[in-house]
Structure 1
């Protein structure tokens, strides 16, 4: 059964805790969402609070997918650019699908929901994201219409002697 996607849902304690649990579970499963496993909820919480503060300021929108049980199963954050010359595109951050739901096409659905949300915003022409090299994420995003537009070799250090490229990808919305 497909996930149900909502843009900017009411921020309830259940939603906040669901996103925190998702982020922790995805990180501990090896997902490239800003952490290296093992990670605890307490380590993830400050990053979530930062995203939530940006939502409260109106700079960030949350796209959340709920499964048939009503659990948070997927998220992505769309963040407006603050630079006055770059307000025509958004950043896409923290794209996550719970490990128990991966391989079902929900990642593609999440990216489509994020693109639809971005298309609904005045003046937005593209979505930009960065991803960690070495995990096949460039191929996944490429299959969803994103194009690689930049790469910084060895910019992400996940462990001693384990540096990954920081890959920038762009999805034109026109």
Structure 2
């Protein structure tokens, strides 16, 4: 049994890692789109600098993957990872529930309220495995995206986000500038 205070910072760290991995994938996909002059230079920057919402970031990544004209199912985040991202968004839609113990209340002037007002039972080990798998898939998903899209080399399409069954472990993907 884990101490009751242990899960919150672990959930926060996984949530933050997933957020950063999504932002990295978005930047990579945006750079690919810029090479084809299909995206203005400043397009993803506002969202990436102001949003912590996993759902919005996943939507933007799916939008960019679709614009890269990758062959299905590589034209979007795989269903299992997407389901994990949706679940994570339900747990913490603004990126504050695991970061802070108290957050701003409604605009009616509630002041500070508990970030996690409802106690709930969790399957910590299963949740962490699920988050770990999603984080690894997103982290490993940016290698070779720009060089192997359907528009540049139809016979060698490379996916931006790996699919279930892919090996999550491996060397760190190169940074694309």
Structure with bigger helix share is: 2
Structure scoring higher RCO (CA < 8 A, sep ≥ 6) equals 2
TM-score in terms of structure 2 length: 0.27
Larger Rg: 2
TM-score, normalisation: structure 1: 0.27
